Amino acid sequence: MSDEVERTATPLVDEAVKKAAVCWVSVDGGPAYGLWCLPLDGALLVVTGPGEQSAPGLADAGVAEVTLRGDHGGRIVTWPARVTRLRPGSAEWETAAPLVAAKRLNAPGPAADLVARWAAEGCALTRLSPAGTAVAGADLPAGSLAEQPRETPVVRATRKPFRLHKVRRR
Give the angle subtended at the CA of 153 by the CAs of 150 and 157, to the nearest 5°. 90
Query: Is 168 contained in some domain?
Result: no
For 80-95, how does the pLDDT look when each residue is reduced to its tens digit (9 = 90+)? 999 999 999 999 999 9
For 50-70, how does the pLDDT look when each residue is reduced to its tens digit (9 = 90+)? 989 999 999 999 999 999 988
Look at strands 38-40 and 33-36 and give their pairing: unpaired
Which parts of the chain sit beneath pLDDT 70?
A: 1-9, 154-155
Query: Is 53 contained in some domain?
Result: yes
Residues in the chain: 170
Q: Return phi, psi of residue 93, to 5°.
A: -60, -45
Domain that holds residue 35: 11-130
Query: Is 160 contained in some domain?
Result: no
The predicted pLDDT at position 8 comes to: 60
pTM (2 d.p.):
0.80
Query: Is 147 contained in some domain?
Result: no
Query: Is 157 contained in some domain?
Result: no
Query: Is 158 contained in some domain?
Result: no
Q: Round to whole Å and give the CA distance between 113 and 103.
A: 14
Query: Is 2 contained in some domain?
Result: no
Query: Is 89 contained in some domain?
Result: yes
Domain with 32 in it: what CATH number?
2.30.110.10
What is the DSSP track for 75-137? EEEEEEEEEEEEPTTSHHHHHHHHHHHHH-TT-SS-HHHHHHHHHHHT-EEEEEEE-S--EEG
Number of domains in the chain: 1
The predicted pLDDT at position 125 comes to: 97
